[in-house]
Amino acid sequence: DDWSLSQVEVSVPLQRVDLGDAKWNDSVLAGNLLDVANFPVATFVSTRVAPIDARPATVHRELTLHGTTRPLCMELVLNKIARYPLPPFRRTAGFSARTSIKRSDFGMQSWRSLVGDEVELRIEAELVRRDDHDASAKPDHVPAETPDDEPANP
């Protein structure tokens, strides 16, 4: 129930980015854009989580991308907490987060007129409790509109 006790850390191995076209992937991952040879991972680390109400919150964090770390705020929404319907029947929580950044703030100047400078970042996450050995155990907080027998669907 207390969002302020939450922490968020996400690492994205950029060499696994798939934009749907092999040649476009190669172009974006090359030295003039993401430069994954020198900066292979993007990292998001929360510094504070501030609740808005029972489901949404604002995550204050630092984004490290292309060798540059900058403060960033993301809107975070708890989509659902439920018992996953397939074995091992663990409690699962689904979250969505989003924000926009300017590539130029992270030192990426190439192709700004072609692909734009502003980029929307979205994180869709499904988290499973590691210590949930009892499939019938209830989490500390389940939103009233979340049926217990449906899977999380972030």
- Flag whether pLDDT at 133 surpasses 70: no
- Predicted local confidence at residue 142, as pLDDT: 39
3-class DSSP assignment, residue 91: strand
| Rg (alpha carbons) of the chain, rounded to whole number | 18
Higher pLDDT, 104 or 144: 104
Whether the upstream peptide bond of residue 51 has omega within 30° of 0, thus cis, is: no
Residue with tokens 């990426």: 108
pLDDT band at 40 (very low <50, low <70, confident <90, very high): very high
Q: Is the pTM of this model over 0.85?
A: no
Q: In the predicted model, what is the mean pLDDT of residues 134-139?
A: 44
pLDDT of residue 134: 45
Range with lowest mean pLDDT among 6-10, 114-118, 129-133: 129-133
Residue with tokens 């074995």: 87
With a CB cutoff of 8 Å and minimum separation 6, the contacts of 87 are none
Specify the pLDDT at position 1: 62
| Dihedral, 96, 102, 104, 107 alpha carbons, nearest 10 | -20
